[in-house]
A and B are shown apart, each in its own frame.
Chain A
């Protein structure tokens, strides 16, 4: 482990001794499990759509490299650097987000992607973590400075982002960003009465989405009434868990995964269930819970409100996404197009994830004297 001596005061030396090495290790383990599972799940999918068997695995590993570089690179920053990077990126990607409506191309009825020469990216994936940091700063600054209307600016930014997302439309992203933002607002001292009102507004929003968007109502109908329509993936997913049982069929031995169209992405947890079985899946859940709760406990001791809010926001995002993915694989909620962080094949979203977790690592580094707080 001791790649760096304690007296090594280089940038990496200091980083190594101050970064949360436990979280770093667990993230590395998750990425390793992800490679194994994508390898297990994707050949069937690749073959079905006429690609090379190893297409997805190769792309997955190829995108993990920049994701790791971004994560480590961002984690080297000071909290102030993180804040500044976040603000600049937020502005940049929000502009891109707005551009998707104009120059984006449509996939499955939604304009979410934008082509930059050489790659295609989904700006909302980057808006998500950067907005969490920006909102944290606004809330924290608003709480400490009387003259700074942090909450008001935050609300306006939130409405703008959500407005852009709904125009794509991207309801899943809207849902996650809303929960994260609401959680931060809650931590930042939102009066309980407003918590209740916003809660009601949120539910109204969900009901409204159900009424307004046919694909949402269809998904929820199917969840509530399995006989109403095609529940193919969820049914197969549950069969996969059942087939796996306590100990699993063993890596590569699963067979129901072959019938899961999204086995490599949204339903990778079912592949894990079939091949690794109950105990390793519990370990997987525990790893995600570990990252989230350990992060929370770390910032709870922090005396910097910005750091507390930003890390909470970023980890809520990470944990919520993992939870939604696992819960929909297990038919605890309607299926939501959401990947399992660092496990699913996810293309460019992996880089955004690395960016977000890099900020978490940077903000939870031990700081002495706390001078560079913000």
Chain B
């Protein structure tokens, strides 16, 4: 095959990168190949042809290889730097460590924590990456003792790519599991909402769902604010008052076997709600599906409040200028309206003055007062008191009042004693606050008003009318239906309300009552208003079977005031001091005698 050699000259140019070297081995044997002896001249041509063909085809091979390696290079670029959008196991692990913005806290007016977020880690696994499921399970069970061995093992042996093993590990458990160093296990950083006061503020604070979105209460209405800011939301609530109201309300609900109850304390000068309790309640960590427990009676429920509405009726009469305290109205017999008859439960069957109508809670007298002032004025006053539209309180669960439409004279008559217009207790509380604080309605709020800020308010009645309302409410406690609300030293004034609930059949149910009491103290210069309500109380031996407000709600209000008074910094005063009596008693101008003489 040596005969395929090219000429020495050609060879030099082919092989010699440094042709000079060719002569470096002059003695290098250029031994003729043994086969050369048999070479035939035409074989030389064949060989040259074969060599040329091979060279040409070798070029093709070179090109194929160059292309193939270039293709690997291109794919490599693609796999390393062009595919960053993909999801690698590492990327997942890394993102799990990113700390999500924590949901802000909710605190009460004194800074007590009502809702907070705890960072927890939840353990999950990619079973395909778990090399030894048995070993991994044994190790896990030794650390997380509440894990079930068989259950965990079957999870780790499954064909899935994602299984939850345990949610919300404590920091210690998180550390222990990490220390095991089992491949294929990952942590999902999670946040868990914690409510240190649990049920106590459940209706106000609300709760969050599995992905930390607010589903009720302040958690829902301030959802975006809580998500975006780390600044806590400070409520107007005071958990101490909240606790006292809940304890006393619960005692009354239990005693009278009520369906539930509602209780509020409001600062009448600011509209701030210091306590808001609805019973039954629930644990916000495990929200119940029980509608009755989830229902916020203070804001979502709308009720015909009954006789407490006589506060507004008296304000209507006195503020109109048409009626004065000393005026009397015929309450000798019941009033017939169509097929209904309006009568008094504590009937005196005689003419009654305005304070007497209020004190004895006379429906007949109230109706006559309202009729004298007229429908448009009554409607306008209810409008001003904010009783015809939803309360502005910052909760998603706010009921819309049921306003008569059209507002006929018969509506005027029933609204005079609190039927025919359904409002929520929070509307009621705001409106009564306005009636006694000098006549200015401040929107109800659950947020603490920063000291020094201007408190929004609208005048609804004159200060003089407001003063007269305070005296009327004091009269109820000193001589009338609300005497059991008396809390010596705190100068309580109030009004009972016993409403018959609308029965499912369209009429009023005599036995299904809503007993309520609104009380303000100290009545000479009211600071706080307490509103309590028991839903469907049943009379008992102690109350001689009565379930009316005087027996059920008034004592409850008294107990609450006796306990919250000291907390609110109200100093008990001598109720018989002449200046105090002068400021709280009613002196009917013409005859110059107090009503106490009746």
Q: Which A residues have a C-beta under 8 Å from some C-beta of B?
A: 6, 14, 17, 48, 140-141, 143-146, 183, 186-189, 232, 238-239, 241-246, 255-256, 258-259, 273, 277-278, 281-282, 285-286, 288-289, 292-293, 296-297, 299-306, 308-309, 312, 316, 319, 323, 326-327, 330, 332, 366-374
Contact = CB atoms under 8 A, between A and B. Distances in A.
B336 to A, nearest CB: 83
B65 A289 contact: yes
A241 B29 CA distance: 53
Nearest to A273: B80
A143 B47 contact: yes
B1 interface: yes
Given A143-B46, A303-B6, A293 B62 contact: yes
B14 A306 contact: no
Contacts of B46: 143-144
Contacts of B597: none
Prevailing SS type, chain B contact patch: helix
B81 A246 contact: yes
Given A305-B50, A308-B54, A368-B28, A144 B61 contact: no
A244 B84 CA distance: 10
B13 to A, nearest CB: 8
A293 B51 CA distance: 18
B2 interface: yes
A17 B24 CA distance: 10
Given A277-B80, A300-B55, A144 B72 contact: no
Interface stretch (B85-93, B252-260, B281-289): B85-93
Nearest to B79: A241
Contact of A312 (B47, B61, B83): B61
B32 interface: yes
A241 B80 contact: yes
Contacts of A17: 21, 24
B54 A189 contact: yes
B65 A303 contact: no
Interface in B195-216: none
A259 B11 CA distance: 54
Contacts of B350: none
Given A242-B88, A368-B22, A278 B76 contact: yes
Contacts of B81: 245-246, 278
Contacts of B131: 48
Nearest to B23: A368
Given A189-B53, A300-B55, 15 more contacts: A6-B24, A143-B47, A145-B43, A238-B83, A241-B79, A302-B15, A304-B4, A308-B51, A308-B54, A312-B58, A316-B65, A323-B69, A366-B15, A368-B30, A373-B33
B62 A242 contact: no
Contacts of A323: 65, 68-69, 72
A259 B183 CA distance: 9
B340 interface: no
A330 B10 CA distance: 44
Contacts of A296: 58, 61-62, 65
Interface of B: 1-6, 10-11, 14-15, 21-22, 24-25, 28-33, 35, 43, 46-47, 50-51, 53-55, 57-59, 61-62, 65-66, 68-69, 71-73, 75-77, 79-81, 83-84, 86, 88-90, 128-129, 131, 183
A293 B31 contact: no
Q: List the 6 shortest-distance A-B pairs measured between CB atoms, nearest first.
A: A369-B30, A371-B31, A301-B14, A241-B79, A239-B88, A278-B80
Contact of B50 (A188, A326, A367): A188
B51 A303 contact: yes
Given A301-B14, A303-B51, A373-B2, A285 B90 contact: no
Contacts of B2: 304, 370-371, 373-374
Contact of A304 (B1, B58, B69, B183): B1
A370 B50 contact: no
A278 B77 contact: yes
27 contacts: A48-B131, A144-B43, A144-B50, A186-B61, A187-B57, A188-B50, A241-B79, A242-B88, A243-B88, A243-B90, A255-B90, A256-B90, A258-B183, A259-B89, A282-B76, A286-B69, A289-B65, A299-B58, A300-B59, A300-B62, A301-B14, A303-B6, A304-B1, A319-B69, A323-B65, A330-B76, A373-B1
Contacts of B58: 187, 296, 299-300, 308, 312
Contacts of A282: 73, 76-77
Prevailing SS type, chain A contact patch: helix
A83 B226 CA distance: 83
Nearest to A144: B47
Nearest to B30: A369
A296 B66 CA distance: 11
Nearest to B89: A239
Given A189-B50, A189-B54, A305 B4 contact: yes
Most B Cβ at <10 Å: residue of A188, A296, A369: A369
Contacts of A332: 71-72, 75
A285 B50 contact: no
Contact of A232 (B5, B28, B53, B128): B128
A246 B77 CA distance: 8
A278 B90 CA distance: 18
Nearest to B128: A232
Contacts of A368: 22, 25, 28, 30
A282 B76 CA distance: 8
Given A330-B75, A368-B22, A305 B90 contact: no
Given A143-B47, A242-B79, A330-B76, A303 B32 contact: no
B14 A302 contact: yes
B480 to A, nearest CB: 81
Nearest to A323: B68
A364 B345 CA distance: 124
Contacts of A183: 61
B54 A303 contact: no
A86 B84 CA distance: 49
A303 B11 contact: yes
A296 B53 CA distance: 15
Contacts of B43: 144-146
B65 A292 contact: yes
B61 to A, nearest CB: 6
Contact of A293 (B22, B66, B89): B66
Nearest to A316: B61
